[in-house]
Copies of this chain bind each other. A is one copy, B any other.
Amino acid sequence: MPIDPRALAASLQELWSPRVVGELDDSYIKIAKIHGELVWHSHDAQDELFFVLQGRLRLRLPDRDVELGPGELFVVPKGVQHLPIAEQECLVLLIENKATAHTGDTPTAQTRSLADQLRRIG
């Protein structure tokens, strides 16, 4: 069956709580509904792909902001600190290695475990 991220997102209630919707070799494909900001963090060993499905995403990097609209993507290179911000509700597709921790080197109350992310949507 095809994976339809926007349809799946209809049953995503919780903000900043990525859910796994597929696998690609040693990576997970995830969707997340976000609004507000997460926390500055980095992933020492893994790149992280952000693809905006709906809304707008600002990726604050140490030296600049990257602004993404629908259909645009950006890969945060491994080791680079970043702060995801969505001024309005935004739906993103994430692709990242299975070993990637949600908020990387910076666990907070917002941090979701892999078990959380593997819960079925709906």
Contact = CB atoms under 8 A, between A and B. Distances in A.
Quick one: copies of this chain in the complex? Answer: 2
Given A74-B2, A74-B3, A25 B68 contact: no
Contacts of A5: 71-73
B24 A72 contact: no
Chain A interface helix/strand/loop/mixed:
strand
A80 interface: no
A67 interface: yes
Interface residues of A, number: 28
A97 interface: yes
A53 interface: yes
A46 interface: yes
A29 interface: yes
Contact of A4 (B22, B49, B71): B71
